[in-house]
Amino acid sequence: AVCSMGNSTSRLYSVLAKTLSSGAVSQHQDCLEQLDSAHLDPIDPKDLLEECQIVLQKRPPRFQRNFVNLKKNTASNHRPIRVMQWNILAQALGEGKDNFVQCPMEALKWEERKCLILEEILAYKPDILCLQEVDHYFDTFEPLLSRLGYQCTFFPKPWSPCLDVEHNNGPDGCAIFFLKERFELIDSANIRLTAMKLKTNQVAIAQTLKCHETGRLFCIAVTHLKARTGWERFRSAQGCDLLQNLKNITQGAKIPLIVCGDFNAEPTEEVYREFSNSSLNLNSAYKLLSPDGQSEPPYTTWKIRPSGECRHTLDYIWYSQHALNVNSALGLLTEEQIGPNRLPSFNYPSDHLSLVCDFSFNQDPDRLL
């Protein structure tokens, strides 16, 4: 049965309010066992959203963003598949390493920031959610999202920078969540990316899902490539490795593919060109928001660090353009909404914007290959 809410002492509120105090996840196995999601009641998303809004009542309201309809006159006889891509900002990095000089520490408090993250997810109701910089997987995202009907997978970085921060909550990594009522997991691969044949600290998850409604298979992948200027060749090598893995998993593009990620690369970088020119026939969904359908957004991340203002396009949703249509995409925040102090802020929990697209299957994908 769905857990009824009642007042703020409800069982749901106690789960929402519960955050592991400190230390790596491995130190809290007894607590994690108590949170085994298989033994917890489902949550009504409206009730969870209400609880988040109670916690956030002293903060400014959520920014309004609108979906842009991109669908051409192609008939689709199935519900679209909504995919959300988001680097949510690891809590340990936000508080300890990222030096957002214009963001008050008060705005980064986890008890409220996690509610801002959940509010964003609940507002857009993705069928598939791909996240990077997840360092509160076991105590927040897995127990709550599994109770919302998602199947959850997490793959941490081998040497997460979060572990260097005092009072951290364990390593950050990538995570995929998909609604079990819509999809069945056929296969799952955790990929540790290589560069020049060396294993790196960056990872990816690739899952082959079967859509219950259509019976169609497709692959969803999430990744987070190496950050910082000077690492362009390294990112390029990681991208080549990921593409090779995805070619094997999709049998050379026979299975449609969606790749979400923070690539830490502008469209001018080699790794972007590798994905654009791959034999997997990928296109970047957010290009379709531009007037000519050929230009990426002006930014997907905007922050101020001691070195200055950083405004970049680094986040992408790639898709098999022969097999999938992009029906709509969520518009980005305007400069006016973001404000002079940039991100994160009391209004928005991450330094990266969430990307959300609605996809439908092409009726005759092989004809377009």
Checking if the pLDDT of 355 tops 50, the result is yes
363 falls in which pLDDT band (50, 70, 90)? confident
Q: Are 166 and 198 in contact (CB under 8 A)?
A: no
- The number of residues making up the chain comes to 369
Across the range 327-353, mean pLDDT stands at 95
366 falls in which pLDDT band (50, 70, 90)? low
First-residue to last-residue Cα distance in the chain: 46
- Give the pLDDT score at 122: 97
Percent of the chain scoring above 70 in pLDDT: 87
Whole-number Å distance between alpha carbons of 152 and 141: 9
- Give the pLDDT score at 230: 96
303 burial level (CB within 10 Å; 0-12, 13-18, 19+): buried
Across the range 15-24, mean pLDDT stands at 48
- Give the pLDDT score at 81: 98
Whole-number Å distance between alpha carbons of 29 and 138: 10
Helix (H, G, I), strand (E, B) or coil at 285: helix
Checking if the pLDDT of 2 tops 50, the result is no
What DSSP letter does each residue of 246-284 carry, written as one string? Answer: HHHHTTTTTS-EEEEEE----TTSHHHHHHHT-TT-EEE
Checking if the pLDDT of 367 tops 90, the result is no
Q: What is the pLDDT of residues 188-208, one digit of tens each?
A: 999 999 998 999 999 999 999
Q: What is the pLDDT of residues 54-107, one digit of tens each?
A: 999 999 998 899 999 998 766 677 899 999 999 999 999 998 777 788 899 999
7-15 long-range Cβ contacts below 8 angstroms, 24+ apart:
8/51, 8/54, 10/51, 11/41, 12/43, 12/47, 12/48, 12/51, 13/51, 15/40, 15/143, 15/144, 15/147
Checking if the pLDDT of 20 tops 50, the result is no
- Give the pLDDT score at 15: 57
Checking if the pLDDT of 127 tops 90, the result is yes
- Give the pLDDT score at 137: 97
Checking if the pLDDT of 220 tops 80, the result is yes
Q: What is the pLDDT of residues 128-138, one digit of tens each?
A: 999 999 999 99
- Give the pLDDT score at 126: 98
- Give the pLDDT score at 105: 92
What DSSP letter does each residue of 79-97 carry, written as one string? Answer: --EEEEEEE---HHHHHHT
Across the range 32-44, mean pLDDT stands at 66
4 falls in which pLDDT band (50, 70, 90)? very low
Average pLDDT value for the chain? 89
Q: What is the pLDDT of residues 279-327, one digit of tens each?
A: 999 999 999 999 999 999 999 999 998 888 899 999 999 999 999 999 9
Q: What is the pLDDT of residues 147-176, one digit of tens each?
A: 999 999 999 999 999 999 998 999 999 999
Checking if the pLDDT of 113 tops 70, the result is yes
28 falls in which pLDDT band (50, 70, 90)? very low
- Give the pLDDT score at 33: 42
Percent of the chain scoring above 90 in pLDDT: 79
Across the range 104-131, mean pLDDT stands at 96
Q: Which domains does the chain have, with CATH numbers?
A: 83-364 (3.60.10.10)
Across the range 271-285, mean pLDDT stands at 98
Checking if the pLDDT of 364 tops 80, the result is no
Least confident of 38-42, 273-277, 349-353, 356-360: 38-42
